Amino acid sequence: MFVQVSEADFSQQTLYDQLLAQCDKPAGAIVTFTGLVRDFNAQGPIDGLELEHYPGMTENALLQLVEQAVSRFSLANAAAVHRIGRLANHDQIVWVGCAATHRHHAFEGACFIMDTLKQAVPLWKKEYQHGAAQWVEPKASDDQAAMAWLKKIQ
C-alpha cells in the first residue's frame, strides 16, 4: 500500500508497476482510476485550479481509505496519489489503483476509494475563471456516493 501527496505530476506506468510489485498475494485483476482537471464548470470555461490541503492529515486520511479498501474487498494491494498546488486544465490530479484476485473486488475497491476520498480527505479546490479564483462547492451526488458505502453490508 502507498499514498503520495505532491505537486509533481505522476506516470501511469510507474504507479501501475509499483502497485503490482508490492502485491502481497497473486493479483489477476488491476483497476486504475485517473482524474483530470476539467476545463469547465457550471459557469463556463475555467483556467485550471489550485488545490489546498492539510499537510499530514491528507496523507493519513488517504492511507486509511486505502487500508479500508484492502481489508473490505480482500485486495492484494491498493494505492492513492493526489496532486496539490496549481494545476492546468487537463492535468492529472488523482490516481487510484487496486489489485485483486477477482475483478469485481478491484472495481469496487477503486470506486470505494474515490467515493470516500471526496468526503473524507482534506483537500479543497479553487477554480480560476475570468482572472478570479472561486472555491468549489461540494456536490450532493458526491455525498450520496460516499454515504452509499456506509449503508452497504460489509
Partner 1 sequence: MITVKTFAQVRELSGCGQLQVPFEAGLDVASLILRLQQQSPAWHDALEGTVLCAVNQTLCDSSALLNENDEVAFFPPVTGG
Q: At 126, give phi and psi (nearest 5°).
A: -125, 120
120 lines the binding site for a second copy (CB under 8 A): no
Stretch that binds a second copy, among 32-40, 52-60, 67-75, 129-137 (CB under 8 A): 32-40
Task: Out of 71, 138, 144, 147, point to the residue binding partner 1 (CB under 8 A).
Answer: 138
CB 117, CB 84: distance < 8 Å: no
Q: Using CB atoms within 10 A of its CB, is residue 31 exposed (0-12), middle (13-18) or buried (19+)?
A: buried
Task: Out of 36, 57, 88, 148, point to the residue binding partner 1 (CB under 8 A).
Answer: 57
* Closest CB 150 distance from partner 1, rounded Å: 14
* Closest CB 57 distance from partner 1, rounded Å: 4
Which ranges of the chain does DSSP label H, i.e. alpha helix? Answer: 12-21, 57-72, 103-120, 140-151
Residue closer to partner 1, measured from CB, 24 or 52: 52
Angle value at C-alpha 108, between 151 and 36, nearest 5 degrees: 110
- Residue ranges binding a second copy (CB under 8 A): 11-13, 16, 26-40, 90, 101, 103-104, 106-107, 110-111, 114, 145
